[in-house]
Amino acid sequence: RIKELINRGGVKFSPFDIEEVLLEIPGVKVGLAVAFPNTYYGEEVGAYVVLEEGASVSAEDILAICREQMTFEKSPKVVVFGTEIPVTSTGKYQRLKLMDLFAEYKDTQFRK
């Protein structure tokens, strides 16, 4: 869906590429890539993660694995953990409703 594309500094890419990597991480039940407003790049990439019961994966572990498997531009800069994901009546994930969870990072300039 075109409205879900992430536009980081003029480079547009799909959240699905990022989610494939997130879902391969042991202990991650659901991982969604979320575009959030950023002063420096227009949008930046965050990851909203629901862990499997009993899993103990840290945000740092998730970020490190993502950076190994994709470019810095595409990899999430922040991980927010949660237990529920908003869905539409047809069962599609509503990434836009998760955007506010990343509001505190709006003015952060992320570096490699």
Using alpha carbons only, give the angle 67, 103, 5 rounded to the nearest 5 degrees.
55
Half-sphere exposure of 44 (CA within 13 A, CB side): 23
pLDDT above 70 (res 82): yes
How far from the centroid of its chain's Cα atoms is residue 10's Cα?
18
Q: Does any domain span residue 112?
A: no
Number of separate domains in the chain: 1
Half-sphere exposure of 104 (CA within 13 A, CB side): 4
Residue pLDDT, tens place only, 37-77: 999 999 999 999 999 999 999 999 999 999 999 999 999 99
Confidence of residue 112 (pLDDT cuts 50, 70, 90): confident
Q: In which domain, by residue range, is 59 found? A: 2-105
Cβ–Cβ contacts within 10 Å for residue 70, how many?
A: 17
Confidence of residue 97 (pLDDT cuts 50, 70, 90): very high
The reported pLDDT for the residue numbered 49 is: 98
Q: What percent of the chain has pLDDT over 90?
A: 86
The reported pLDDT for the residue numbered 4 is: 79
C-alpha span between 16 and 33 (Å, rounded): 7
Q: Does any domain span residue 73?
A: yes
Residue pLDDT, tens place only, 3-37: 779 999 999 999 999 999 999 999 999 999 999 99
Which CATH number does the domain housing residue 8 bear?
A: 3.30.300.30
Strand-strand pairing, 6-8 and 78-81: unpaired
Q: Does any domain span residue 111?
A: no
